[in-house]
């Protein structure tokens, strides 16, 4: 009822105010500056406790009621199903997190996102700080209230914009100075401290440390090493700046580019800082897939990879095929703009790849968007969607809703297969459906060979279901041509 909703909102706001007053009254100590001598393999002699900068009162609050509880529910090979309990409710993994850059998924409401079962979504610190501004979010007591979203939020630190807006950015040890892409001549300095201050104001359940992000195709070894080292120094500054460790979780980001030694160094140093969770950063930027999966495998490797008792988040990865492989390797969390961005161009995600509804072959195709599907567009025909796509604003909203439901359902299916100890069989069936034009020998086509190699490292054998010696290696994101019968 409206009365109950008002009561719940009032209680929620009161609890936020109490927590805010508590954090304002408690001071934060700065940790000793981490220094690393040239050639050393460690930036600190001893592992740092959780949020080493927090006061004793903050640490006591974290001990009595931690803002993140990780529970491993099941494991099948290296694939994991877990429950991550956060301040705004539990998140079941593996999980895909839709990206709402400025407090909204383009074309959808917060109610739409709840209806399709989303438990956590993303906001972007850089863009939110520019618009609507952190000052406004402070007045609203955070992004949850501002966008009327009662579930969890993860905020990116703004580090990715160092790559995406590189021509507008200047990177120094102090931080990154950007030119506002929508306001020429306006400058914004993003430091580790400012990033965390902004994320504290946004009120996200998971904050990301600011990292020195470089393109994954960079070949400048000095710049790669500089970025890896600087990411660690900035992580320490983020820890020191974090004001709310008792109610917001700060994740560290493993960098190191495609260099196994630098990745290993970054892994060990980040683990010493004992974050509540960790992200694998610096990928999905155009690097070869053979290099991509090997970095993920290294970061999730038993014994030497990221801790088994904490969440593992692979940043910026959204292709269904990539996610399936990386779940097999042991990743828990994913995010990407791809499913919603591609929807705005009229492309729907289906179990056979992508369906470009702008194409003429769908003009008279009166089958459902996905035969046998149960999603929000299960009764919409391809012909109807073809008629309105890119012409009517509602089409973008409809296909975005479908694509995000598709992704959330895909991850839920993987979780169920892991819990049932049938994940290898599920993966084999997924690949056969995703690449219908490929088959056992003899066949002219096969899925991307990096998939076979990565799954082998994860202990899943797919050697027998395709002709891996085929002349044509299919794309990572095959295309469904509808009635035409053309190969993907």
CA distances from residue 430 to 45, 312, 321, 447 in whole angstroms, order as listed: 47, 23, 9, 12
The H or E element containing residue 26 is: none
Note whether 285 and 260 are within 8 A (CB): no
Note whether 458 and 449 are within 8 A (CB): no
DSSP single-letter state for residue 484? G
Helix (H/G/I), strand (E/B), else coil: 245: coil
| Strand pairing class (176-179; 95-97) | unpaired
Per DSSP, the chain holds a count of helices (H) and strands (E) of: 17, 18
Residues 6+ apart with CB under 8 A from 49: 59, 274
Note whether 84 and 70 are within 8 A (CB): yes
d(CA 367, CA 369): 6
Among 322, 332, 335, 365, the active-site one is: 335
Among 156, 236, 322, 365, the active-site one is: 156
45 included as an active-site residue: no
Edge-to-edge strand order for the sheet containing 249-254? 95-97, 333-335, 312-314, 278-280, 249-254, 206-208, 152-156, 120-124
335 included as an active-site residue: yes
* CA end-to-end distance (rounded Å), the chain: 50
The H or E element containing residue 321 is: helix 320-329
List helix spans (H) across 165-281.
192-202, 221-241, 260-272
Q: Which of 354, 481, 331, 344 is nearest to 414 (CA)?
A: 331
Catalytic residue IDs: 156, 335
């Amino acid at each position: 009822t409206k009365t109950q909703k008002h009561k719940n909102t009032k209680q929620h706001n009161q609890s936020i105010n109490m927590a805010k007053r508590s954090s304002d009254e408690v001071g934060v100590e700065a940790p000793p500056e981490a220094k690393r001598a040239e050639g050393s393999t460690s930036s600190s002699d001893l592992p740092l406790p959780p949020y080493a900068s927090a006061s004793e009162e903050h640490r006591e609050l974290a001990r009595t009621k931690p803002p993140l509880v990780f529970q491993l529910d099941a494991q099948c090979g290296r694939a994991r199903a877990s429950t991550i309990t956060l301040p705004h409710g539990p998140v079941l993994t593996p999980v895909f997190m839709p990206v709402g850059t400025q407090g909204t998924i383009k074309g959808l409401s917060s109610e739409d996102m709840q209806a399709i079962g989303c438990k956590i979504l993303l906001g972007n610190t850089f863009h939110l700080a520019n618009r609507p501004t952190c000052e406004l979010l402070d007045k609203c007591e955070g992004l949850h209230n501002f966008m009327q979203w009662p579930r969890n939020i993860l905020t990116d630190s703004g580090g990715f914009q160092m790559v995406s807006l590189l021509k507008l950015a200047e990177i120094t040890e102090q931080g990154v100075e950007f030119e506002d892409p929508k306001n020429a001549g306006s400058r914004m300095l993003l430091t580790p401290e400012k990033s965390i201050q902004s994320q504290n104001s946004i009120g996200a359940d998971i904050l990301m440390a600011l990292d020195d992000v470089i393109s994954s195709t960079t070949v400048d070894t000095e710049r790669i090493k500089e970025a890896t080292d600087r990411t660690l120094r900035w992580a320490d500054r983020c820890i020191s700046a974090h004001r709310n460790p008792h109610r917001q979780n700060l994740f560290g980001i493993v960098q190191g580019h495609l260099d196994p030694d630098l990745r290993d160094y970054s892994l060990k140093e980040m683990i010493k800082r004992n974050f509540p969770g960790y992200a694998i950063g610096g990928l999905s930027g155009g690097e070869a897939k053979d290099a991509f999966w090997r970095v993920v495998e290294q970061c999730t490797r038993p014994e030497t990879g990221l801790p088994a008792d904490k969440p593992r988040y692979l940043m910026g990865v959204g292709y269904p095929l990539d996610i399936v492989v990386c779940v097999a390797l042991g990743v828990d969390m994913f995010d990407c703009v791809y499913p919603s961005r591609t929807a705005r161009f009229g492309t729907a995600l289906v179990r056979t790849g992508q369906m470009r509804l702008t194409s003429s072959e769908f003009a008279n195709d009166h089958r459902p968007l996905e035969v046998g599907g149960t999603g929000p567009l299960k009764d919409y025909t391809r012909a109807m969607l073809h008629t309105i796509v890119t012409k009517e604003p509602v089409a973008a909203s409809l296909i975005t809703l479908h694509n995000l439901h598709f992704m959330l359902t895909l991850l839920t299916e993987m979780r169920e297969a892991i819990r049932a100890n049938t994940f290898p069989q599920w993966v084999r069936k997924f690949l056969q459906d995703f690449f219908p034009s490929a088959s056992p020998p003899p066949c002219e086509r096969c899925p991307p060979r990096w998939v076979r190699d990565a799954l082998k490292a994860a202990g899943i054998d797919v050697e027998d279901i395709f002709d891996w010696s085929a002349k044509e290696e299919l794309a990572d994101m095959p295309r469904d041509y509808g009635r035409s019968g053309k190969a993907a």
